[in-house]
Structure 1
Amino acid sequence: MNKRILGITTATFATLFLLTACSPKEEGSTETTTSTTAVQTESNETVYPLEIEVTDSEGNTHIQTFEQAPERIVTNNLSSIEILLELGLKDKIVGITQPDNEVTGEFADDVKDLDVIGDKMTVSKETIAGYTPDIVVGREMAFNDESIGSVATLNDLGIQTYIQTASSMTSNPPLTNVIDDVLALGKIFNVNERAEEYAKELETRYQTVVEKVQAQEGDETLTLLPIVAYDASKSSFAVFNISGGLQSDLLKQLNVKPAVEGSVADPSLETIINTNPDIILYVTADRNADLDANAVESIKNEPLLKEVNAVKENRIYTTTYDDFMDYGVRIFDTLEMLGDHLYGENK
């Protein structure tokens, strides 16, 4: 039987749906995708055996062979859980790692129904193997033998993997890799029609924001500082690294750049004053709930920050950790929120 090699790229998707092409990548940028071109049949059914390539955190590629659609799934992050639920695969999910925050939104009740196998920081490959999954789906960083098991180790146990291309830390994946992941998982599980419908919805959302930005952007590039756990009593906070990864492309599509490169910053008001960001994005998380309740108002009312551009121009926006720092569809919510504030009716 002939094998099929899966690789769904943004170009393939655009051709399939005849939508407006994504804005061209800047010269020298790197895009993480699976290999070659996706094979479609007239009936839109996946042809097995199916081979795909996954790339681990060390940049090594591994061929994963599927003789049929997997029946038992373990996932290691919220974004992969929600994509699988959207594709109608709830009954196949036999285990998940504990979400970082209380899950909200349309899949909150579904996630509560799923079996939590442990915390992402402590779960082991032995625990994973005990659930006898056919496939482990999730973020790149967890696929190592100190965590859920490397791709090679899991394969030796007869377990296939799918590493979200949007979670790559070895390159700077574009937001459209989320769409690629939807299509790839649709192919693996032979739910192509739903995956393509969902991918088209996401592509439309993405293009709407991109076109809005392109129609209005000027020569000025705004700067953004993501603030986490702002403590007014100590005048301290933390920042995420948004100079790389999926978040880097989110800013790029909005004609915005990080106010601080990397995640190394003095956690004091002096950093905010010296960087003078045009936008402050306050990121909430359950672990910081006590601080988050008054954080934005505290920033606005801090006398030492009154001359900071973001404060003067009232460009302090709020998002959640899952909507900004995970590797799935929720990041489109943040893209739309910021796009609307910077270029839309709320401008």
Structure 2
Amino acid sequence: MNKRLIRFMTAIFTVFVLLTACSAEEEREEGDAEEASTAEEKVNDENETVYPLEIEVTDAKGNTYTQTFEQAPERIITNNLSSIEVLLELGLKDKIVGTTQPDNEVTGEFADDVNDIPVIGDKMTVSKETVAEYTPEIVVGREMSFNDESMGSVSTLNDLGIQTYIQTASNMTSNPPLTAVIDDVLTLGQIFDVNERAEEYAKELEERYQAVIDQAEKNKDEEELTLMPIVAYDSSNSSFAIFNISGGLQGDLLNQLNVVPAIEGSSADPSLETIISTNPDIIVYVEADRNAELDANAVESIMNEPLLQEVNAVKENRVYTTTYDDFMDYGPRIFNTFEMLGDNLYGN
């Protein structure tokens, strides 16, 4: 065999070996890709809601009902701003077919989206018959509206083929903590099979919550501060209204900041004498559209009132403002007030 033939056969053999190696490498890469794809599918499957899904809701009387969802509801009625905004955060705007009239002009990033949603009536006068006309598959919102004098009780709505979700953050019988808002986000994510977005949003809220907790823990004193929330301050006659904080989200908000209500109960006389005698360390003035004319100069009037100059809140410049929706509703907006107070009381 001559040398030229040997070199030719050697070259062929080398090419064969290289091709075989490449083919094996391609097969390994394809196998790895298939395994990765399968793993990704498993992760996705684990993050999907498995129907039928059973969720328990509790009404204002403490009655608990099981709601069974055979699939993600397609038509939603809501009864308050906080439930709307959570649903919008979860990308469910197109499923909201109606809501009750918001208490105040909606502000913030979702203002236009909220204004796009049909209003079915006022929360004080809307009826279960009106709700039924919109053929919802689910009604979502605060517990107080789930009765037959308003939007319909859970059992009545269920009899009409309508499921419900009552925000646990609105359930006064269980005295919910701030973290109930986060629980509501995750549960709604399950109901509507948008778990990934719900988990992302819940994580955002958890981080905001924990940041305030950490800030307060580092800087708060052993002695509790006292707080008085007031509304509708009329400088012409020094009259106002006092919010009663007995528990729930607002009670937990104060507790986490080492703050207690300056007044227990709601029977205190709303007068300057009450502010002077209780001497709150903090006054939170709660703005609302219905009191817009009074709100315009309320805080300035409080700060300049001669009779209040020795009150701790005025003397220490601890008179803060928030809005009704950011303090009294049952959704993520309450974290705005939590952060505001945390920054003012314990920030650098």
TM-score (norm 1): 0.87
| Aligned mates of 1:121, 1:294 — CA distance in 2 | 30
SS in 1 for 2:233: strand
Of 97, 101, 104 in structure 1, the residue corresponding to residue 100 of structure 2 is 97
5+ residue gaps, structure 1, are: 1-39
Whether 1:115 aligns to 2:121 is no
Aligned to 1:209: 212
Q: Please tell me whether the aligned partners of residues 229 and 237 of structure 1 are also in contact (alpha carbons under 8 angstroms).
A: yes
Q: Counterparts of 1:1-347 in structure 2 under 5 Å?
A: 42-345=45-348
Aligned to 2:3: none
How far is 1:43 from its partner? Answer: 3.6
Name whichever structure is richer in helix by fraction: 2
2:123 aligned partner, one-letter code: K
How far is 1:219 from its partner? Answer: 1.1
| Aligned mates of 1:245, 1:217 — CA distance in 2 | 22
5+ residue gaps, structure 2, are: 1-42
How far is 1:265 from its partner? Answer: 1.8
1:170 aligned partner, one-letter code: T
What is the CA deviation profile of residues 163-218 of structure 1, one whole-angstrom value per residue up to 9, with x for unaligned ones? 00000111210000000000000000000000000000000000010011111112
| Aligned mates of 1:75, 1:222 — CA distance in 2 | 37
| Aligned mates of 2:148, 2:244 — CA distance in 1 | 25
How far is 1:263 from its partner? Answer: 2.2
Q: Please tell me whether the aligned partners of residues 73 and 94 of structure 1 are also in contact (alpha carbons under 8 angstroms).
A: yes
2:62 aligned partner, one-letter code: G
| Aligned mates of 1:245, 1:344 — CA distance in 2 | 25
Q: Which structure has the bigger radius of gyration?
A: 2
How far is 1:262 from its partner? Answer: 2.2
2:94 aligned partner, one-letter code: D
Identity of aligned residues (%): 81
Residue-pair matches, total: 306
Q: Please tell me whether the aligned partners of residues 141 and 169 of structure 1 are also in contact (alpha carbons under 8 angstroms).
A: no
| Aligned mates of 2:140, 2:266 — CA distance in 1 | 27
| Aligned mates of 2:129, 2:244 — CA distance in 1 | 32
Aligned-residue CA RMSD in angstroms?
A: 1.0
1:243 aligned partner, one-letter code: S
Q: Please tell me whether the aligned partners of residues 134 and 158 of structure 1 are also in contact (alpha carbons under 8 angstroms).
A: yes
| Aligned mates of 1:324, 1:227 — CA distance in 2 | 12
2:297 aligned partner, one-letter code: N
| Aligned mates of 1:127, 1:262 — CA distance in 2 | 36
